[in-house]
Chains A and B, each alone.
Chain A
Amino acid sequence: MRGQARSLLADMPRLAVLGLIGLVMLSPYIWMVSASLKPLDELFRATLNLVPQTFHGHVNYGRVFAEVPVVRYILNGIIVCAGILAFQLAFAIPAGYAIAKLRFRGRDTLFAFVMLGLLVPAHVPALPLYVAFAQIGILNTYAALIAPFVSSVFAVFMFRQFFRSIPDDLINAARVDGMTEASIVWRVVLPNAWPAATAFAIFSVVAHWNDLFWPLIVVNGHSVATPALGILYFRTEEAGDDFGALMAAAVIMTTPLVAAFLLAQRRFIEGITMTGLKG
């Protein structure tokens, strides 16, 4: 039934349907790349040729690099994502360990707060955070982009679930050896947490690299703009109706994460779906 031994011929209809829908799924990428290589007059003729008659790619990509700080945007994206992830892991791993493995009064209350926190979408605290950040004058800084996300209840929840499967005896043995709880976290628990940490890292980076809502609120100008904002700026300030250059910008900003995905597909899919709860 699952067709291990099925001949290629019998498998053809299935492959054809999958291929056809797949082509539709890929068409935005195909047209984006194609348009990024064409000169404007060719785009305006609106032919269905994918291959450009006159190769204009160097001009389109050149325009993007010349007119907007592309490297800056990508660097900002990396700084913001790395900053968020570092805090999330540093805060969530010890907390997840405490809730999973330590006995103390208030543990259940703490876990109830984690579950409650899972219900609140990041858009809800946005308004008061904006007001507060404006008051203390940190709008348009990396801090403003990173701070709202440093404490991920989702990460706490995930690490708590994961750490529960670590045998108590391993931890008790470390205690007998005289290790403090803090060193148990970093030296005993963390080395066992890599699968969960990797999955969460992929989820977090994808979410924040692609986020538009919060950067749009707190960023003004190019200095700390993320790739998502960079594209919007390029469109309004420079490209206008020059779709060739606009598509070139879109290709440039999409490439880093898509390339990472193609290199580590299985990990990406596992990471994002394992952590998919939070959407």
Chain B
Amino acid sequence: MASPALSLTQPRPSLIHSEAAAAWLLSAPAIIAFALMVMIPTLAAIVFAFTDYELGSRVIRFIGWANFVELFEDRGFVASIRNTAFFVAVVTPVSLIGGLLIAMLIEAGTRGRAFFRAVYFLPVVSLMVAMATAFQYMYHPTIGPVNALLRQIGVAGPSWLGSSDWVMISLSIVGVWEQIGFNMVLFLAGLTAIPREIYAAAEVDGVRSPWARFWMVTWPLLGPTTLFVLTITMIRSLRVFDIVATLTQGGPNKASEVLLYTMYTEGFTFFRLGYSAAITLVFLIIVLVLMLVQTRILDKRVHYG
């Protein structure tokens, strides 16, 4: 907040009214568009979730929690939750720890910084659908380079995307590949924010080995960054859609159904809008809980740096 003493020209009371009018006028386009495109549709989605609304149906009935009851009895949806959880549980730690390690390696020297940063960041700006088709080729069981390489060392590679045992692992690898560079950049920012004097002071205090230096200085000071990366990676992984839509369409036999893809097929292929809205609501609640947990932890902890 600006202190009143700083404003040389306090607006006269008569001007305050016009200031309010100007403020509303300036915000009006954003407010109207937000109401029409975000707020009302979001509320409508919540209402949909408690109805049996299907596209084209004449009568819409409120059916209470019936959609949610059906969801948790629906084997497809349960598989979808399980697969999404698997994806989040693999991609989050691997891309977080990997991003941190790469950031520390880049930060440890001066050579090749910009170059490596660009290399690792490239997937963030790449059209994911296109890159997914590149992975489709790489993963191809007979002509793909991954299995060709494995054959060279005498290993028969699996059908990466065609086998229900492997498909979520294969998709998770793509997920890590997609997110690691973003996490690396966030950690790089966190690392450069640590003052060098602290390392110098720690060295005076006898913290000499790189291992001790990491656990006693770097890791605690990176706390807020790590928490942020953790939340954002979980939410991004939870939203996995493009690679599933491009590579597997939820198959084989629902082995790669994920939350948003199930929501998409129920809503826009089968037009069961009420049911699909219920999935959307489950998705929204998970996102909100993750964000709430993050702010809770942030509030409780000491802020470093």
Contact = CB atoms under 8 A, between A and B. Distances in A.
A162 B264 CA distance: 37
Contacts of B175: none
A113 B127 contact: no
A80 interface: no
A128 B281 CA distance: 13
Contact of B277 (A127, A132, A149, A250): A127
Interface residues of B, number: 102
A110 B147 CA distance: 55
Nearest to B114: A265
A201 interface: no
Interface in A119-149: 119-121, 123-132, 134, 147-149
A268 B291 CA distance: 26
A108 B264 CA distance: 36
B22 A182 contact: yes
Residue from B16, B134, B147, B235 whose CB has the most chain A CB atoms within 10 Å: B134
Interface stretch (A52-60, A190-198, A210-218): A210-218
Given A14-B105, A181-B26, A269-B117, A213 B125 contact: no
Top 7 nearest A-B pairs (CB, nearest first) are A125-B41, A151-B33, A104-B20, A181-B22, A128-B44, A95-B30, A94-B26
Interface of A: 1-4, 6, 8, 11, 14-15, 17-18, 21-22, 25-29, 31-32, 35, 43-44, 46-48, 87, 90-92, 94-95, 97-99, 102-107, 110, 113, 117, 119-121, 123-132, 134, 147-151, 153, 156, 167-169, 172-173, 175-176, 180-182, 185, 206, 209-210, 212-213, 216-217, 227-229, 231-232, 235, 243, 246-247, 249-251, 253-254, 257-258, 260-262, 265-266, 268-269, 272-273, 276-277, 279
Interface of B: 2, 6-9, 11, 16, 19-20, 22-27, 29-34, 37-42, 44-45, 48, 55, 102, 105-112, 114, 116-131, 133-135, 137-138, 140, 142-145, 147-149, 152, 177, 180-182, 185-186, 189, 196, 199, 232, 235-236, 239, 241-242, 245-246, 260, 263-264, 267-268, 273, 276-277, 280, 283-284, 287-288, 291
